[in-house]
Structures are given as structure tokens and as C-alpha cells.
């Protein structure tokens, strides 16, 4: 589905980003694996990618404009162009608003939201007609969070940027969409107790937590030519949590 395509995935050393990188490689893409600190984990992802297709590591904090620019330059030097950008990098530190300090707020907005501006701004000059930009947002962008106002705000901001770019880039035939995952079984919920996991599963109509592969499958669809007439949309992947 992505044979010959050149894709950058931010935050791809683990979790959802890792699953997307492997899924894209399975479908023939050349994959740029961005990571910040987890070098050994990123090397393992690259090893998996190279069993299927090809790719490179792209180290850097995409929340910093200069580092995002360097990442894009390194990718284009090897790949020649950018067909797909997946804005996946993110952090989530649970805390109630009364406890939320300015430093944590700024860090969350920088890594989750400003990174999207940084990457889109630097990638677009190398993206031609038929390009795809995908934002990995969150269910919390739609309903808010009692223990993560900074995270919910950053993920909601991504949707505003996504819709604006979808309108602006339509005349260039570049599709821009977002995925809003529900509760996915990744490091972000590693601190859940067994009781919290059980309670969460009970709330989900499909009676299971999501897997990173569930998000990667939808991301593959949006990155492929099958989604050429879809832009400016948010696809909720949450096991039926928002039915009704």
C-alpha cells in the first residue's frame, strides 16, 4: 500500500510510533524513525524496519524548531522527498490543574503541539501533490481530562492545526487528518493498577484496551491512496467508547 513512499514518524522508538513504523515498512515505505532519548529502543525499531523495507534513525527533540529542521534535512538528504508525515511524538504526565506547574505546561505544549508546527513547517517544502500528514491526537482532545489539562489542551490544539492545514493544503492535493486513540496499552498507562485496567476495560464496549497496532492500521489507511478523498477528519479509535 505504501511501496516507494518516504515517511517520517515522530516519537517512533516505542508504543504507537513503533507500531506505525513497522506497519509502514511492511507495506513498502522507507521510514524515518525519529526519537529523542531512547537510542537503544530506536535501534531495535530500525532493525525490525530493515527486515521489511528500509529506513534511517532521526535523533532529535522535535519540540525544538532547529532540531526539527535538522531532522527533516537529514531525511531528505537520504530519501530525496517526503510523502508522509506522522506527528506522533508526545508526553503525558498526569496531574490535576491545581498541581500543574508552568514548566510542565510549557514542556507538554512544546513536545505535543509545537512539534507539529515545527515538523509541518519544515516538511512541507519537500512534500508534493499526493502527500499525507497525520496527527496522532487523543480521545482527551474531545472530552478533556480531570488529570491532564496540559495534555488535553495540546491534543485539542493539534486538531485545530490539522483542520486549518487541511483547508490550506487542499489545493496542493495534500491530505491532512487525525486519529484520536482511546486507551491504548502502551507506556502511557504503565502505572495503571489492575483495578484501574479492569475498570477501564469495563467502560469500553469492545471490552479490551486498544493495541498500538489498532492505531497503526488506521494510520496506514490514511497514509495510502485509499484515503485520497478524506481530509480534515478525526477518526476515533476507542473501541466504541463514544457510541451515542
Residues labelled as active-site residues: 151
- Tell me which residue has cell 489507511: 221
d(CA 178, CA 133): 8
CB count within 10 Å of CB 127 equals 20
DSSP state of 182: -
Pairing between strand 175-181 and 234-237? parallel
Q: Could you tell me if residue 207 is left (phi over 0), alpha (psi between -120 and 50 degrees) or otherwise beta? A: left
**From the centroid of its chain, how far is CA 38?**
17
Cell of residue 83, nine digits: 510523502
Amino acid at each position: 500500500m505504501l511501496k516507494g513512499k518516504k515517511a517520517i514518524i515522530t516519537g517512533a522508538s516505542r508504543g504507537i510510533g513503533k507500531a506505525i513504523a513497522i506497519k509502514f515498512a511492511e507495506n513498502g515505505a522507507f521510514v524515518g524513525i525519529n526519537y529523542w532519548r531512547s537510542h537503544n529502543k530506536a535501534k531495535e525499531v530500525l532493525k525490525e524496519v530493515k527486515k521489511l523495507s528500509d529506513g534511517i534513525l532521526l535523533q532529535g527533540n522535535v519540540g525544538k524548531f532547529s532540531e526539527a529542521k535538522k531532522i527533516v534535512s537529514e531525511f531528505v538528504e537520504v530519501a530525496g522527498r517526503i510523502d508522509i508525515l506522522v506527528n506522533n511524538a508526545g508526553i503525558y504526565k498526569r496531574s490535576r490543574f491545581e498541581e500543574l506547574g508552568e514548566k510542565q505546561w510549557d514542556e507538554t505544549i512544546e513536545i505535543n503541539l509545537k512539534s507539529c508546527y515545527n515538523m509541518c513547517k519544515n516538511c512541507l517544502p519537500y512534500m508534493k501533490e499526493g502527500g499525507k500528514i497525520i496527527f496522532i491526537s487523543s480521545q482527551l482532545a474531545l472530552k478533556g481530562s480531570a488529570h491532564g489539562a496540559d495534555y488535553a489542551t495540546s491534543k485539542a490544539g493539534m486538531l485545530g492545526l490539522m483542520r486549518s492545514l487541511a483547508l490550506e493544503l487542499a489545493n496542493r492535493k495534500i491530505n491532512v487528518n487525525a486519529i484520536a486513540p482511546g486507551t491504548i496499552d502502551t507506556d502511557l498507562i504503565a502505572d495503571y493498577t489492575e483495578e484501574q485496567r479492569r475498570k477501564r476495560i469495563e467502560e469500553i464496549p469492545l471490552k479490551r484496551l486498544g493495541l498500538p497496532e489498532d492505531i497503526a492500521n488506521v494510520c496506514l489507511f490514511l497514509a495510502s491512496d485509499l484515503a485520497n478523498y478524506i481530509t480534515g477528519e478525526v477518526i476515533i479509535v476507542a473501541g466504541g467508547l463514544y457510541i451515542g
